[in-house]
Structure 1
């Protein structure tokens, strides 16, 4: 409809052509009527009235034989062929005009159809181009989303691998700490079941005094007493690393974190809780 609105002049021209065609047809009919009337008037002589009130033809006396002869010759003369020629000419002109109008209307209609078809094709091409542009834009957006999703997946996979590595390391450390705790617990049980010495110190077979005992023998008293070496109130429940002395409770371990071992004075790197 937008294309049809662009050609109002063609429609007006077609209506105007139809009205002009009708006017020409009416004028041709009027010309034919006038020509017929003129030919009819030529065939009839004019009437004149004499003094006595009787009509006479052309002011001539009907009793005059010469006039009657002339009139008879005039009536016997064949009618001219002017009206027939004009009529044929007007008919040919009308047919030719109708034919030209038909050709013109057909040409205008064909041109209008071609114009409408071209406009329709242009409209379809514009719609197709817009649809292709929209589809390409959507595809680019989806491809960008896929790229972002793939990048996020790669980051998550790398993080998962790192977490798995850390988890494996922590599991190995936990197993090692459990083994150390079990060893300390066994030694604690053996130390607690050993008899208490009441005699004075004697040198051993190698000539060493009891003051030269290792850290394990130095920890025998706390093991037997079972109280914290820091507060002397709570039972021991934490093993210090790397010296492995069971000498602190959980509260004192949190308070004295970073300090040296109260038994051997070595620097501590960690602690392991022990449940006795």
Structure 2
């Protein structure tokens, strides 16, 4: 409270000094104006009397000296007034106390400005934090949307690839089924052709055996005068078929002949005699044999 009272008295003193300064400034202006009036030269009067002019000049000189001394005194007074005015215009010194208080009102303004600045900084920090949080949420949402879009695109691509692979598997399965069906059909046809070929081969062997049997019968029937033409008769016997003669086995004379000997192609043995006389010569032409084919006659 004592400090505040002292500050108020200093303010009153400062205001009083300001009013006195204004008063002194006005007085100084009036003195300058009076000095200018006194420094004007006296008027000159021209007359026929020369002594009057000399006297007027002497009086003017004396007056000028007096005014010079007065002007010097006035200048000294003016310098003192200016020093006092400069001293009074200086700001009063700040009073420092143990409580760290100042007599200037700038400290309060600085405190207010500091509080306002701190408040603005806090608001700016809160705004920046809110904007940063909003930006972070927006970026997170964008990232989630991007990831969802990538996942959806990957799922679509995988579904398309799976559909294509499934279609390829279906086509491959149909092709495999077609190939299996074709293979079964070809196997059936092959077996049919094999059976037909075997039947044709059996028919050919039977016909050849009949020819050989007929030729053997014709050769056995020929005698005497035909000996000179033995080879020709044998060929004729091989080519001629006697339908009335029954083929009897030339070895056992009981079973019908059913085996054609190779390479002479004589139908002259039954199956049992062929197995017994394996490796022996042909009973018709006495030629060496290398094998035999069994035929079935209808």
TM-score (norm 1): 0.47
Q: Write 1 or 2 for the structure with the bigger share of helix.
A: 2
TM-score (norm 2): 0.43
